[in-house]
Structure 1
Amino acid sequence: MILATEYTNDNGEPVSEFPNLGQNGYSNLYINGIMQESSLYNVSSGALTIDPGAAATAFPASFSYYNLYINAMIQTADTSTVSTTTLTIPGGDVLDPATPIIVEFVVT
């Protein structure tokens, strides 16, 4: 949880709460330049709470294409292959467990 008091407004002044977005408002959260799914976070007047939830146990069986990001850098199509349960990086490369990985599937 990140408290609103840890942020500043556009004038660089500390804030006590986030603006009320109202019934028809919305918020977007970007981490390392990548917009996050709205189901992963919640914004209240006093705090931003990030909850990544459970890890994915299966990928979509049918999709148009997917994007792989390693350390927030999009990878070329020949960097990986994917099945419904596995993402494989050719050559047997093993990544540091602390390396952020994002797989984005586009389903139509």
Structure 2
Amino acid sequence: MLVWDETDVLAVLEVVPEVEPDGIWHVYSVEKNGVELRISIYQYDGDVRFELFNAESESPMFSMQLLDCSGVRWKNDPAGEYLEFAPAKCFGSRYDGESPIPYGVRVYVKPTINVSLF
């Protein structure tokens, strides 16, 4: 199960998600400068899908999925404000929601959309 604070994701992405009635998934969609970022979070399975679309195509120009993501963490440092997503097996036990994430995916939306692996 994914460790996360929905308000952190809302604060960084600044969009209200589409939520499945039973809360099984949340889909956040952010659009800037002709690029759309879609993040689908399946909180009980811990699966997270990242997709980037341009305004002219129905197919994603980038798509990746983290299976059994350990957690999501909000960060604000000199690099900016962003979310860190921890891949599976990143921690020896359950993620506490506060420990640094040694490697994973970072998502920025200010000033532009950026998805990076670290």
Give the TM-score normalised by the residue count of structure 2: 0.20
Higher share in strand? 2
Give the TM-score normalised by the residue count of structure 1: 0.21
Larger radius of gyration: 1
Higher share in helix? 1
